[in-house]
Structure 1
Amino acid sequence: MLKSSTCIAAALTALIATSAAAEGELNLYSSRHYDTDERLYSDFEAATGITINRIEGKADELIARMEAEGANSPADVMLTVDTSRLARAKEAGVLQAIDSAVLEERIPANLQDADNEWFGFSQRGRIIFYNKDKVANPPANYADLAKPEYEGLVCIRSSTNVYNQTLLASIITHEGADAATSWAEGIVANMARDPQGGDTDQLRGIVSGECDIAVSNTYYFARSIRKDVKGLSADRDMIGWVFPNQDGYGAHMNLSGGGVAAHAPNKENAILFLEYLASDQAQQYFSAGNDEFPAVEGVELAESVKALGDFKADEVNLSEVAKNLPEAQKIFNQVGWK
């Protein structure tokens, strides 16, 4: 169960006591579009007295806006989803390196930028789902998805999807560009339909019979456990899942994260906010409110997330994965992944 803002305030007391900026405001640019995040913001405001002013939009639009605003940008913090977008923000020069003992202690090294410009605060596994009645031997690994035996069975999103871009970049990191190209070619050959829709639509494809195997982030499926998701929850029992690569480097995890804006006018407040996102209470809310895996180890999972079971997560350094994103896009284009 989520703890109250009073508990959150207690957890932040040490931080606030040493912060000269525990008042005023924080200008947040966010591409996280989850209504449940309202609790994160209101609890932070209640605990600190800092008012959050939000600008919401798509990640690329926010990055472009921050670039155009330059040194006059009011942005203090940018929040977004996936390593690829965090990497784009860094490359665009709209984030800055920060020093925070709290974040260094709380956030695992592989989930933060090598230069401390961004930090991951929640994770989502990108895993394999399948029709239990039709697929007797589901793929055990990402590589298996490309095997000829699964021809015409796979639903997966387009090559423009950031989750797929980071997944392919991680395969490049682990196995090299040639192996990643062969994998992508195999996936294109095995597609049940041209890529369309979001992750929930891939899962609905199993229910509708358009495909027997789908690739999706875990939180889309876990959400259907916690609440009713049209076209999915009622038939959820027909779907099984596999955390890939359990005999190897583990299941790929993508991030939701953020960093302090390059020209943050309220930098101390910005750092305090990121440290708050790493607190146990906020981390628990990422799980309970949006069915994600916390970035901080040992935080209690929501029941919907627990239902997915234990698994081995890929602990590759996501800063290294980010370096391979341009190569991933080249491979997608080369193999004709729409």
Structure 2
Amino acid sequence: MTPTTRLCALALTSSLMAVPALAQSVNLYTTREPGLLNPVLESFTKDTGIKVNAVFLKDGLQERVKAEGSNSPADVMLMVDVGQIDAAAAAGVTQPVSSATVDKIVPKQLRGADNNWVTLTQRARVVIVSKERVKQDSIGYEDLADPKWKGKLCIRAGQHPYNNAFFAAYLAHYGAEKTEAFLKGVKANTARKPGGGDREVARDIQSGQCDIGLINTYYIGLMSQAKNEQKGWYDAIKPLKSSFKDGGTHVNVSAAAIAKHAPNKENAVKLIEYMLSEKAQTLYADGNFEFPVNPDVKESAAVKLLGTITPDRIPLSDIAKNRKAAADLVDKVGFDN
């Protein structure tokens, strides 16, 4: 954080702390990009009359709320990774979300322990293949270690949070021994050293360097609308129906929690409930080709492009707990070397 950014953040914090907890306001701390959230926040204010004071942070959200302690103005924390939101709950800076609306809409495995956080949208991690060279339409994640893909698989670094969460989910399904064998098998199949981004996996499939890879679904959506060479990457790939053989599709999430010392708790609940409504889910999910968590939203941009998904049944909180063990296994097998 630059000195200028730090001063701006301190000034914003001071101004928030100086404002009393108004009945018609709610304070949001988030690591999401403003462009994705602002349409939903503006709609919320228009429909409810409740003003949203949003603080956008690149990182350090949990640490900031913890440092502010009981004087923190934060009402709602919104993060883009299950590990981050679960760590906030473990750090004791959240409180349970008590809401019949939340309980009705959000499946239990997509909520934190004791409802300390709630999923708002989902992004799936799926297998993509060459549209020209691979003919199958579905795959079990376990098959990524099949020797038939030797020298044909591209993947970003195993320690990247996207893959770390995926490997943590594999660990939750199969335990350490089978996960280690899986990692060794995937590494043996790589066409190049793991690295780059998800879109580079699509690029390398187009070039013929590899035939198969892993990608987050929203990248597929963004490439489909690209006006540059990325549209060609999109045209060269085919997403497969991807799932664990004894479960569903691996997802990560954007999720919200109510801050432990929220001065506007009632409005915090209202904001979370609103973000689960059909109207807000369409605005929010479509902004980044994410899958709505509200099952009544049938025609989201992601569903239109990629079809429906069945999220894996493993609780996301279990995945979060397995992340360190998964990272240790990645290092043990030298996945990123």
**TM-score interval for Structure 1 and Structure 2 normalised by the shorter chain:** 0.7 to 0.9
Instruction: Name 2:196's counterpart in structure 1.
Output: 197
Instruction: Tell me, yes or no, if structure 1 residue 329 matches structure 2 residue 327.
Output: yes
1:103-145 CA distances to partner (integer Å, 9 max, x unpaired)? 1112111110121110001111110001122335587211111
Instruction: Name 1:300's counterpart in structure 2.
Output: 298
Instruction: Name 1:7's counterpart in structure 2.
Output: none
For 2:140 and 2:84, how far apart are their aligned partners in 1?
26
Secondary structure of 1:315's counterpart equals coil
Secondary structure of 1:115's counterpart equals helix
Q: Rate the CA distance shift 1:52–1:303 in 2: closer, same or farther, 3 A.
A: closer
For 1:106 and 1:251, how far apart are their aligned partners in 2?
19
Instruction: Name 1:15's counterpart in structure 2.
Output: none
CA contact (8 A) 1:288 1:301 kept: no
For 2:196 and 2:91, how far apart are their aligned partners in 1?
28
For 1:38 and 1:29, how far apart are their aligned partners in 2?
13
CA contact (8 A) 1:30 1:56 kept: yes
AA aligned to 1:290 is: N
Instruction: Name 2:83's counterpart in structure 1.
Output: 84
Instruction: Name 1:285's counterpart in structure 2.
Output: 283
CA contact (8 A) 1:80 1:257 kept: yes
Query: When the two structures are superposed, what TM-score results if normalisation uses the length of structure 1?
Result: 0.86
Instruction: Name 2:12's counterpart in structure 1.
Output: none
Instruction: Tell me, yes or no, if structure 1 residue 53 matches structure 2 residue 56.
Output: no
AA aligned to 1:196 is: G
Instruction: Indicate the percent of aligned positions where both proteins have the same amino acid.
Output: 37
Match of 1:244 among 236, 239, 242: 242
AA aligned to 1:219 is: Y
1:34, distance to aligned residue in structure 2 (A): 5.8
1:142-162 CA distances to partner (integer Å, 9 max, x unpaired)? 111112222232222223322
Secondary structure of 1:320's counterpart equals helix
For 2:181 and 2:137, how far apart are their aligned partners in 1?
20
For 1:197 and 1:73, how far apart are their aligned partners in 2?
38
1:247, distance to aligned residue in structure 2 (A): 5.1
Instruction: Name 1:12's counterpart in structure 2.
Output: none
1:44, distance to aligned residue in structure 2 (A): 0.9
CA contact (8 A) 2:158 2:164 kept: yes
Secondary structure of 2:318's counterpart equals helix
Q: Rate the CA distance shift 1:87–1:159 in 2: closer, same or farther, 3 A.
A: farther
Instruction: Name 2:254's counterpart in structure 1.
Output: 256
Instruction: Name 1:8's counterpart in structure 2.
Output: none
CA contact (8 A) 2:202 2:234 kept: no
1:303, distance to aligned residue in structure 2 (A): 4.2
AA aligned to 1:159 is: G
AA aligned to 1:252 is: H
For 1:186 and 1:139, how far apart are their aligned partners in 2?
19
Q: Rate the CA distance shift 1:177–1:149 in 2: closer, same or farther, 3 A.
A: same
Q: Rate the CA distance shift 1:215–1:90 in 2: closer, same or farther, 3 A.
A: same
Give me the CA root mean square deviation. Answer: 2.2
AA aligned to 2:111 is: Q
AA aligned to 1:291 is: F
1:289, distance to aligned residue in structure 2 (A): 2.0
Query: When the two structures are superposed, what TM-score results if normalisation uses the length of structure 2?
Result: 0.86
For 2:318 and 2:266, how far apart are their aligned partners in 1?
28
Q: Rate the CA distance shift 1:222–1:330 in 2: closer, same or farther, 3 A.
A: same
Instruction: Name 1:146's counterpart in structure 2.
Output: 145
AA aligned to 1:253 is: V
Q: Rate the CA distance shift 1:128–1:165 in 2: closer, same or farther, 3 A.
A: same
Aligned residues: 316
Match of 1:319 among 311, 317, 320: 317
Instruction: Name 2:271's counterpart in structure 1.
Output: 273
1:304, distance to aligned residue in structure 2 (A): 4.8
Secondary structure of 1:175's counterpart equals helix
AA aligned to 2:164 is: Q
AA aligned to 1:271 is: V
Which consecutive residues of structure 2, in runs of 5 or more, have no partner in the other structure?
1-20
Secondary structure of 1:307's counterpart equals helix
1:37-57 CA distances to partner (integer Å, 9 max, x unpaired)? 211111111122222222222
1:282, distance to aligned residue in structure 2 (A): 1.0
Output aligned runs, 1:1-338, within 5 Å.
Answer: 23-33=23-33, 35-59=35-59, 61-136=60-135, 140-225=139-224, 227-228=225-226, 230-245=228-243, 248-338=246-336
Q: Rate the CA distance shift 1:320–1:229 in 2: closer, same or farther, 3 A.
A: farther
Which consecutive residues of structure 1, in runs of 5 or more, have no partner in the other structure?
1-20
